[in-house]
A and B are shown apart, each in its own frame.
Chain A
């Protein structure tokens, strides 16, 4: 199997790696690659930190394994190779009345990555996590081909398992019915934190998310925009796709006064009484995909994303965290608050019933320090951080966040005793340490 030395970064561009990378285009070559050079599988590299990095060690890119290999238009059962992108599924399936059951915030995420991170979406409170809709997995492990049925130990170790059980050769999933490829979106202005949580708790929409102005302080703390969406049929102009960010933005582009102004304008753009708009489906689910390489807006130094979830009764702790963020003057316009249901499918899945907060920080000044502090606060509140986002935590900071970690370590060790599948994140957080 021929490999190529590839230099790459996580989406946040704070961490990078160089790997001898194999890029199989067929199932048979995927198995051959894992056989001759066991290595972690990589997808679109949309994890922000180093979950998708394996510096100075080999890697297997699955992006060319990108076919839908079975689809039943009556039952909505679909089998896809790991490199199929969620956004492509949306564009192809929505007109037929089906949607991926769970969609992360970017359509560039792959099916393989969505399994490995057990991703959640704007419908988590109803539909649960991605892995809960996966009905079967075919894996290529360092110990050969395996299949994993829902609920089995191997399945639970693979879903949310950070690629540590091998490469996903294909995933079978149950799609959700939708009315068409148009979204009816209701947007409401939210004045403060309590109102924000109240509206998230009360929302009965299929898809709900709260944009939060993470620069607002004082009585405006927690203000934002609640977005609720339902699929519908109709005719809207298709989403404009594919504008690029041609260069790394200078660091003042996202400096505190500019973000403050932008956020205020973004908030005021919604009329006082709220409004309902009709959008192309991918505009609602993947708003940032319109701008390719938007990570370059943060400049050369890149950015950190912090995402945690805390139990429902720990909302005050989350408010405290938001206060820290707002006071830091480092938050970017990208901040999201959401109520999660209990749905999760793997030992290392991120979701838990509670509130999740995600915020971007340009990589400068005290950003790392703040993220560390927030991670600690999340841990102390009985919550956890999302490994798909993390680039700064340490083994101590995440201790106890994932109560089923020991089961996962045991299952993973059986398939990969040589630890050939470890990524930079797994090593940094010593996730497999306690075998």
Chain B
């Protein structure tokens, strides 16, 4: 099988773990992101781990002009093209409260940019009748909380987009996996107080690969976040609005 994974946001540690895992299976990886020097280092690492091919592509969620070349390249590629989106940004809520203009960037990074990119790839998956999209959202998108609701709302929008995209691609043989990670041990969460049950990026990557193989629709990773979020979602709004969790 000729599988290619386009990995957006390849500098994140979850993306790094995922890229390594698919490389070890012998898939081709296209690593897309902003810090090209950093991604170049990952590309060599992936090649040595067995990737059929590792390539560096420029992708910036805030620069739509970077999307076209990626879509064109995917169009020209042979075999199945898959996409995994690890893009997002989470400035502290207090910073956004002080400067509301930051909100645009969060929504662009975590929702609008990646959704637009995926929208350009969707016809390719439809035409080939195969391909998987992995969209990494967040448990923060399941409910708006005082400490993090701008990021949460962007991720919620992304979840809804993924659900619609799944509805669309299923018809032609494609698939979409929505991934909702809890706390993962990445640079984004390092040193932030209040983290608990923090998962290793490698564990998340392996959960994602299992979900792809089994064509799961939405997964929580680690799995127990499904129950935590079930509880949080079932708190009546009347009570929830007074809580700060």
Question: Inside 8 A of A28's CB, which chain B residues have their CB?
Answer: 35, 37-38
Say whether, besides A27-B38, A68-B45, A3 and B13 are in contact (CB < 8 Å). no
When the two chains form their complex, are residues A2 and B11 in contact, meaning their CB atoms are under 8 A apart? Answer: no
Residues from chain A with a CB closer than 8 A to the CB of B191 are 2-4
Among B38, B42, B190, the residue within 8 A (CB) of A4 is: B190
| CB nearest to A93 among chain B residues | B48
B-facing residues in A39-88 (Cβ within 8 Å): 64, 67-71, 81
Q: Shortest CB–CB separation between residue B166 and chain A, in angstroms? A: 31
Say whether A26 contacts B44, CB under 8 Å: no
Q: A25-B13, A26-B11, A92-B49 are in contact. Are A2 and B190 (CB under 8 A)?
A: yes
Residue of A nearest to B46 (CB): A67
Knowing A2-B190, A2-B191, A4-B190, the reply to whether A27 touches B44 (Cβ < 8 A) is no
Given contacts A4-B190, A29-B187, contact A68 B38 (CB under 8 A): no
Answer yes or no: A188 CB below 8 A from chain B CBs: no
Bound Cα distance A400, B40 (Å)? 46
Q: List the B side residues contacting A2 at CB < 8 Å.
A: 187, 190-192
Interface residues on chain B, size class: 10 to 19
Residues on the A chain within 8 Å of B37, using CB: 27-28
Asked if B41 lies at the interface with its beta carbon under 8 angstroms from chain A, I say yes
Return chain A residues, CB-CB under 8 Å to B35: 26, 28
> In the complex, what's the smallest C-beta–C-beta distance from B53 to chain A, in angstroms?
16
Residues in A with CB closer than 8 Å to B16 are: 25
For B45, give its contact among A4, A29, A69 (CB under 8 Å). Answer: A69
Q: Is the CB of B13 within 8 A of A92?
A: no
A69 to B13, CA, bound (A): 16
C-alpha spacing A71/B191, complex, angstroms:
34
Contact with A along B177-205 (1 / 0, CB 8 A): 00000000011001110000000000000
Whether A156 sits at the interface, judged by CB under 8 Å, is: no
Q: Chain B residue with minimal CB distance to A24?
A: B187
Residues on B with beta carbons closer than 8 Å to the beta carbon of A71? 44, 47-48
Once the chains are docked, how many angstroms separate the CA of A3 from the CA of B45? 27
Which residues of B from 25 to 75 have beta carbons under 8 Å from A? 35, 37-38, 40-42, 44-45, 47-49
Interface of chain B residues 154 through 192 with chain A (CB within 8 A): 186-187, 190-192
Q: A23-B187, A27-B38 are in contact. Are A64 and B45 (CB under 8 A)?
A: no
The number of A-B residue pairs with CB atoms under 8 Å apart is: 45
Give the shortest distance, in Å, between B167 (CB) and chain A (any CB): 35
A27 contacts B187, C-beta separation under 8 Å: no
Say whether B49 contacts A81, CB under 8 Å.
no
Would A68 and B48 count as touching, CB distance under 8 A? yes
How many Å from the CB of B6 to the closest CB on chain A? 20
How far in angstroms is the closest Cβ of chain B from A241?
A: 14
Whether the Cβ atoms of B11 and A70 lie closer than 8 Å is no
Q: Chain A residues near B11: list those with CB within 8 A.
A: 25-26
Q: Give the CA-CA distance A28 to B48 in the complex, in Å.
A: 23
Residues of B within 8 A of A25 (CB): 11, 13, 16, 186-187
Chain A contacts with B in 1-50, Cβ cutoff 8 A: 2-4, 23-29
Q: In the assembled complex, how far is the CB of residue B198 from the closest CB belonging to chain A, in whole angstroms?
A: 11
Complex-state Cα separation, A25 to B188, whole angstroms: 10
A92-B23 Cα distance, complex, nearest whole Å: 12
A68 in contact with B187 given A25-B13, A26-B11, A26-B38 (CB within 8 Å): no
Residues of A within 8 A of B45 (CB): 67-69
Query: Which residues of chain A are within 8 angstroms of B44 by Cβ–Cβ distance?
Result: 67-71
For residue A244, give the distance in angstroms from its CB to the closest CB of chain B: 15
A421 to chain B, nearest CB (A): 21
- Closest beta carbon of chain A to B15's beta carbon, Å: 11
Q: Considering only CB atoms, which chain B residue lies closest to A84 in the complex? A: B45
Across the two chains, which residue of chain B brings its CB closest to A92? B48
A93 CB to nearest chain B CB (Å): 8
A345→B35 CA distance, assembly (Å): 35
- B contact residues around A92 at 8 Å (CB): 48-49
Residues of A within 8 A of B13 (CB): 25, 64
* Residue of A with least CB distance to B13: A25
Name A's B-contacting residues (CB within 8 A). Answer: 2-4, 23-29, 64, 67-71, 81, 92
Subset of 30 A-B contacts with CB under 8 Å: A2-B187, A2-B190, A2-B191, A4-B190, A4-B191, A23-B187, A23-B190, A24-B187, A25-B11, A25-B13, A25-B16, A25-B186, A26-B11, A26-B38, A27-B37, A27-B38, A28-B38, A29-B187, A64-B187, A67-B41, A67-B44, A67-B45, A68-B44, A68-B45, A68-B48, A69-B41, A69-B45, A70-B44, A81-B41, A92-B48
Please name the 10 residue pairs, one residue from A and one from B, whose CB atoms are nearest each other, closest first.
Answer: A4-B191, A67-B45, A2-B191, A69-B41, A26-B38, A25-B187, A67-B41, A68-B45, A68-B48, A69-B44
Given A29-B187, A68-B48, A69-B40, 19 other A-B residues pairs in contact with their CB atoms under 8 A: A2-B192, A25-B11, A25-B186, A25-B187, A26-B38, A27-B38, A27-B41, A28-B35, A28-B37, A64-B187, A67-B42, A67-B44, A68-B45, A69-B45, A70-B44, A71-B44, A71-B47, A81-B41, A92-B49
